[in-house]
A and B are shown apart, each in its own frame.
Chain A
Amino acid sequence: MVKQYETDVAIIGGGATGTGIMRDCALRGIKCILVERDDLASGTTGRNHGMLHSGARYAVTDPESAKECIQENKTLKKIARHCVEATSGLFVSLPEDDLDYQKNFIQACGQAGIEAEQLTPQEALRLEPNCNPNLIGAVRVPDGTIDPFRLTSANVLDAKEHGATLLNHTLVTGLIREQDSVKGIHCLNVLNGQAIDIYAKQVVNAGGVWGQHICEYADLSIKMFPAKGALLILDYRINNLLLNRCRKPADADILVPGDTISLIGTTSTKVPLETVDDLHVTDEEVDLLLREGTKLAPIMANTRVLRAYAGVRPLVSVDGDTSGRNISRGIVLIDHEEKDGLKGFVTITGGKLMTYRMMAEWATDLVAKKIGNSAPCTTHTQLLPGSELSLGKKVPKHTASLAKPVYESAIYRHGNRALNFLKEDKQSQAIVCECEMVTRGEIEYAIKDLNVSNMIDLRRRTRMGMGPCQGELCSYRAAGLFTEYSQRDGLQVSKLLRHFLEERWKGLKPIFWGDALSEGEFTYWIYEDLMGVGDIPPYDPNDAIKITVKQPAAQGVKNEI
């Protein structure tokens, strides 16, 4: 049986933009359902620097983007307080950099409304002792960091509390069309093979680089030019302020602190669309990132690399240009009714994590108008769940027995929503992930309340397995909790455990030397020699789909494709 839903707006894509639209719709009283083929922030949103741009990076080359950034920077510092660290950032000039660029840079920042304070090298080193001591100049700007996993999750949480529905692990298999109108989407739950039809007045395609496929369902031509960006995660937080090179944006010139680690990135390579689901960081990219990163912070030469990963920027070309020359990094909102004569279908793409809320506002304005909703946007003033307490005020500690690091980590990650799982009973306080101080209570909360279906989702919601040991001990422990708190049986959870360890391995492979190699060997001994996990059949995310295609229930889906 095909499961059916009816709603006002169906949103495709669970990245920052999609979840931002979901929240915006919900706050305006528009009914909506968001479908995501994998998990929240599993695409481009979760695979970048996690940088809260001040706009300074774009001030010289793209003043329009710079203005958008500084506006959203100020907004996110208010509404997403628990996802943001206002660390501030330095734009550093090294001996090989031109100080004339610095002059232009400061001027351009001023024009965009970005506070830019020129510092002497000594002042800069006092603020950031790990910065290259040979610097010849530095400018301080209001850059910061933003956690994309927390941000998307908070958007979803708020949307759900205002009546919206999230269907993650749900793949769009086709558009429901009647003549010149899109009436909804055909979907498939990839975990259980359930076919789902969602009828909606408007369908919003926020699939990012994957959105090209969605448009192809409607024979619309949007050409994505995915640009791969590789990044390295360092073992600990080597800098407290963001470090940028004060020059024209180039490879590997941003070092971002985030939680317990630092990130260096990024490279930029055009890749074919077919490869975006299977990106590998090459040895050459690793070498380049380390070489350039060491110039910003020489300490990096002696710092362990924890893992490597890559994301794709959704660069887009519209109007049938397939050469890539008219590529836009800016926000692209397409009303397909106006452009192609196809009613009920809107695409929002391009842009960046930093401007997700603004993109969501634009897209929601458009669909709201089409369905006759005139409620104003409030996403820039209403605080996200977890950030509700007024600035500077501490979350009250209700439970005296809680260890300080446990309490602080939980508040850091979930804001005041941490009070939902910080409980007196000692069971819920047991630490599962010792690197990141993730408790049993937090895992229970994530599995039950934050749409977690597997251990990788769990990692995105809690940081479990993201610390120096990369899941050495906590993977097994968390798997045990999965049998307890989720609907899955021990056999399924065993597969999820293997799947999780394979996923951790992906990030280790490009940087497999030194400590990463010895830790990797240790983890392998534990899970293969001691536990025998290699005997568990590998998890295949397509298992459910393969089964369903054989069943008559999915026939409609096939025809539509």
Chain B
Amino acid sequence: MKFDTLIIGGGIAGLSCALRCQQQGQKTAVLTKGQSAMHFSSGSIDVLAHLPSGELVSNPFSAITQLTQQKPQHPYAKIGAEKVKKSLHWFTEKMAQEGLNLISHHDASDEDLNHVRLTPMGLFKATWASQDTVYPFIQQNPAQGLSHITLMTFEGFRDFQPELASANLKALPQFKKVEVDCVSIEMKEFDAFSRNPCEFRSIDISNILENEEVIHSFARYMSMLVKKSTDIVVLPAVFKGKKGTQHINLLKKLTGLTICEMPTTPPSLLGIRIESALKQLYKEAGGYMLEGDEVKKGEFKEGALTGIYTKNYKDYPLLADNFVLATGSFFSHGLKANKTDIYEGVFDLDVEYNTPRKQWRADDFFPKQGHPFLAFGVKTDENFRPYYKGTLIHNLYCAGAILAHYHPVIEGSGNGVAISTGYYVAGKIINHSERS
């Protein structure tokens, strides 16, 4: 099998790259092993929340310039602030085409602003764009415009604990005058879960909420329990895909309440919703998905990757003019660690990391500066092309968490780097093939 571009990894970086390649006329394939990191992500798009100095960012795109001054090796520095912005706006446009609206705040001169999303701990995290079913709190004063919030869960559901969230929320000075209610709904439709007490996760609830009749009954419970004076009702994310969004809207209509979703412990239905939308767009554009497969070996010749051998295709190589490696970080097995070394999991590409092992992590679990291992990754040139035993591989590109020199969690830049690097390397591949 021969493709123009073959992308290894089906997370947000790989799929963004694939979508752009395919829409630009490349014959594209995405090879994925299993679930991507989207399955436990917030489902919001973080671009930049903190500078390395610790300073909180309000305008993410203009802060990228400051960031790249402080960290010249950062992936954003290779792309440039303008192109980062362009790639993320491209992403939100694509998502909107698939009916998934990502909302961001803007200042008076229409510059993009960060907002904050509520976490299951009742704390706030800065982000650039959230799905329109998530309430975008104002960063400077999250309580602005709110006098009454209701946190709602389902009786027996373990992955959202409103009492814990409300305590932290109420402790914020801005929320002193905001009434915070905790409501727990017990629905007979969920009785089936008593059969196996493990089966009461968001995804199980979402299966039952696919039935429209259940939404009507849900609305009745909600109307009984939620005070009419509440400004917003925050629910854990328990609605699946496109239909889920429609059902939230139906619920809003039936109750007259402003209902918002909140991402909680995995599986993250908000993250999965983005992944589904991306896949849908990509497939509509004619892209190939090679799912449940994994690369066994790559064949390198004169500084180029000529083909890969996979678990499913065995001796039959998959060929492509260009390849993209978007296999994620450690939990996605893009990067691996043995007792002494960090290595790249597919081709054993050259990796940048600290030694000895002690220096892979910080002493505290929640360190201010983040853990060093999160900034480890494949060594790349200015076009995100990696090296194999010191030699540049000129038709292989890297995108997303496999890259070195950024701290996705501490910076709040995970999805921003994934999308922009995916988009950027797609551009490089397209330009290159147009030239030749």
Contact = CB atoms under 8 A, between A and B. Distances in A.
A483 B163 contact: yes
Contacts of A497: 164
A512 B360 contact: yes
A483 B163 CA distance: 7
Contact of A514 (B123, B158, B166, B338): B338
B409 A517 contact: no
B194 interface: yes
Given A431-B197, A526-B265, A531-B120, A494 B159 contact: no
A427 B200 CA distance: 11
Interface in B345-397: 356-358, 360-361, 363-366, 371, 373-374
B32 interface: no
Given A480-B158, A512-B357, A531-B123, A519 B167 contact: no
Interface in B121-135: 121-125
Contacts of B374: 521, 524
Interface in A499-525: 501-502, 504-505, 509, 512-514, 517-522, 524-525
A197 B125 CA distance: 47
Contact of B331 (A490, A498, A518): A518
Interface stretch (A186-194, A214-222, A352-360, A532-540): A532-540
Nearest to B193: A426
Interface stretch (A71-79, A145-153, A384-392, A471-479): A471-479
Interface string A476-490: 110110011000011
A547 B168 CA distance: 23
Contacts of A99: none
A394 B268 CA distance: 42
A494 B119 CA distance: 13
B414 interface: yes
B158 A401 contact: no
A142 B337 CA distance: 40
A473 B267 CA distance: 11
A509 B361 contact: yes
Contacts of B371: 524
A490 B329 CA distance: 34
Given A494-B121, A513-B339, A518-B330, A484 B200 contact: no
A505 B167 CA distance: 25
Contact of A494 (B167, B333, B409): B167
B366 A498 contact: yes
Contacts of B196: 403
Contacts of B357: 283, 512-513
Interface string A446-479: 0000000000000000000000000001001101
Nearest to B194: A426
A473 B358 CA distance: 26
Contact of B167 (A477, A493, A526): A493
A476 B159 CA distance: 7
B171 interface: yes
A115 B77 CA distance: 71
Contacts of A494: 121, 164, 167-168
Name the residue among B120, B166, B197, B408 with the largest chain A CB count within 10 angstroms: B197
Contacts of B108: none
B155 interface: yes
B197 A439 contact: yes
Contact of B197 (A283, A429, A527, A529): A429
Contact of A505 (B263, B337, B364): B364
Contact of A490 (B40, B156, B166): B166
A432 interface: yes
B266 interface: yes
A120 to B, nearest CB: 36
B197 A528 contact: no
Interface residues of B, number: 58
B163 A490 contact: yes
Contacts of A536: 121, 123, 168
Nearest to B364: A502
B200 A430 contact: yes
Interface residues of A, number: 56
A68 interface: no
Contact of B373 (A479, A502, A517, A533): A517
Nearest to B124: A532
Of A491, A526, A532, A538, most buried by chain B (CB within 10 Å of CB) is: A532
A450 to B, nearest CB: 21
Nearest to A473: B265
Nearest to B120: A531
Nearest to B366: A534
Interface string B293-326: 0000000000000000000000000000000000
Given A403-B197, A517-B373, A427 B155 contact: yes
A412 to B, nearest CB: 18
Q: Which of B167, B200, B414 has the most C-beta atoms of chain A within 10 angstroms of its own C-beta?
A: B167
A263 B125 CA distance: 40
Interface string B255-285: 0000000011110100000000000000000
A447 to B, nearest CB: 15
A366 interface: no
Contact of A491 (B158, B168, B358): B168
A490 B168 CA distance: 7
A521 B414 contact: no
A517 B194 CA distance: 35
A530 interface: yes
A414 B15 CA distance: 50
A432 B337 contact: no
Contacts of A528: 366, 409
B315 to A, nearest CB: 28
Contacts of B361: 509, 512, 520
B198 interface: yes
Most buried by B among A403, A430, A533: A430
A526 B364 CA distance: 16
Nearest to B169: A490
A26 B302 CA distance: 81
B161 A479 contact: yes
B164 A530 contact: no
Given A490-B163, A521-B374, A401 B263 contact: no
B22 interface: no
Contacts of A403: 196-197
A553 interface: no
Given A483-B164, A494-B164, A530 B365 contact: no
Interface string A411-442: 00000000000000011011110100001100
A283 B358 contact: yes
A249 B412 CA distance: 52
A283 B412 CA distance: 32
Contacts of A127: none
Interface in B175-234: 193-194, 196-198, 200
Contact of B163 (A480, A504, A513, A534): A480
Contacts of B265: 473, 476, 526, 530
Given A283-B358, A529-B41, 8 more contacts: A429-B197, A477-B158, A477-B161, A483-B163, A513-B338, A529-B409, A532-B121, A535-B123
Interface of A: 283, 287, 401, 403, 406, 426-427, 429-432, 434, 439-440, 473, 476-477, 479-480, 483-484, 489-491, 493-494, 497-498, 501-502, 504-505, 509, 512-514, 517-522, 524-536, 538
8 contacts: A434-B198, A439-B197, A480-B161, A518-B331, A529-B41, A529-B125, A529-B412, A538-B366
The 6 closest A-B pairs by CB, nearest first: A490-B167, A480-B161, A534-B366, A505-B365, A532-B123, A426-B194
Interface of B: 37, 40-42, 119-125, 155-156, 158-159, 161, 163-168, 171, 193-194, 196-198, 200, 263-266, 268, 329-331, 333, 336-339, 356-358, 360-361, 363-366, 371, 373-374, 408-409, 412, 414
